[in-house]
Amino acid sequence: MSSDIHVNDTGTLIVITVQDENGIVSLASATSMAIMWKRPDGVVVSNPATLVTDGTDGQMGYTSQSGDFNLPGMYTLQGVVSLPPSGTFSTDTEMFKVYSNLM
């Protein structure tokens, strides 16, 4: 995420690039993908993710909707992907900040 996110922003594309110790993991054969985050109040939210391109770049994304970022503060982000026949894997976590608005 390269731009700031503010409380109640919608239409923000959240992108996670899935990697392992060998580099980027192709998601072309993924059967399910999700992008989760933990809000500052401890609630964990899970949203279905889609491929950003054809999946060979390891990128999955989710576009924020109303209510997704309803609290200011630090959020923890993580992706989960199922890749048969290997299994289901979680990405490393990453933190991002949701900023307050004037009103």
What's the pLDDT at 13?
95
Q: What is the pLDDT along the chain (103 residues), one digit of tens a residue?
A: 557 999 999 999 999 999 999 999 999 999 999 999 999 999 999 999 999 999 999 999 999 999 999 999 999 999 999 999 989 999 999 999 999 998 7
Calculated CA dihedral for residues 89, 79, 18, 20, nearest 10 degrees:
-40
Paired strand residues for 59: 17
| Cα separation, 3 vs 86, whole angstroms | 34
Please give the model's pTM, rounded to 2 decimal places: 0.89
**Which position has the token pair 């995420």?**
1
Domains of the chain and any CATH numbers: 5-99 (2.60.40.10)
Q: Under 8 Å CB-to-CB from 39, ≥6 apart: which residues?
A: 45, 70, 71, 73, 75
Question: Which contiguous run of DSSP H or E holds residue 96?
Answer: strand 94-99
What's the pLDDT at 3?
79
What's the pLDDT at 100?
96
What's the pLDDT at 61?
97
